[in-house]
Amino acid sequence: STPKFHSHPTTNPTTMKTYAAICLSLVSATAAFSPVPTKPVNTQISLTLDDIGGASPPLKNFDPLNLATLGSDETLLWFRAAELKNGRCAMVACVGYLTNVAGIHFPGQLSSDISFESLSTMNPFDAWGAVPVAGKTQILATIFIAEMITESKEVHYTKGGPLPGMVFPAIDFSGVSEETMKRKRTSELNNGRLAMIGMMSFIAAHNIPGSVPVLGSNF
């Protein structure tokens, strides 16, 4: 007898594509719920106030709110830079405030209709209000430029670079010893802290008469 050969049924290509699509969908769904490896982020603080200086014997570091423990090392360095720059601004503000109260002024005109002498007869807040908009714009623009210069260094101070230096005028301390620089930095911080307290006293005395007894009505 003639042998009979049985052929396998032909698989439908459309069915195979459907099976493949289902399998791929299952693989994708499984991958979506699989844990994704992440790089650990180190937020541990290794720097302390003792490491960045600023305390003057016999007084120790004063941080009752534990602000030095917030964030990372970069946060602490940012706090130090902010204290340094705010202290410098406060020192300049104190000198300007006291100069105005004492009636000391530049000769000539600030603008076509405002003289420096007329500003010296006002209290500092009224004198600032009398400055033309163009003058205020120039002052704020200068501050903005100085801020951009200190924040645009090749190595930022929060990444290991030096703390912001003086911009106007730029002072070269390259020939000063490290011991002298440490003493000068501490003096600058302390003077800046005192100036910030002083400016707050001036503002309080101006807005709340009698709040600072040692300051007169001119403030």
- Residues 6+ away with beta carbon under 8 Å from 45: 69, 71, 72, 73, 76
Instruction: Note whether 88 and 192 are within 8 A (CB).
Output: yes
Mean pLDDT of the chain: 79
Q: How much is the pTM? A: 0.71
Four-residue CA torsion sign, 12, 14, 15, 21: positive
Instruction: Note whether 152 and 18 are within 8 A (CB).
Output: no
Cα separation, 193 vs 89, whole angstroms: 11
Cα separation, 102 vs 193, whole angstroms: 23
Report the candidate in 96, 84, 77, 94 with the shortest Cα–Cα distance to residue 156. Answer: 77
DSSP 68: G
Report pLDDT digits (tens) over 29-65.
Answer: 443 444 444 444 444 557 788 788 778 777 788 888 8
Report pLDDT digits (tens) over 86-141.
Answer: 999 999 999 999 999 888 999 999 998 999 999 999 988 899 999 999 999 999 99
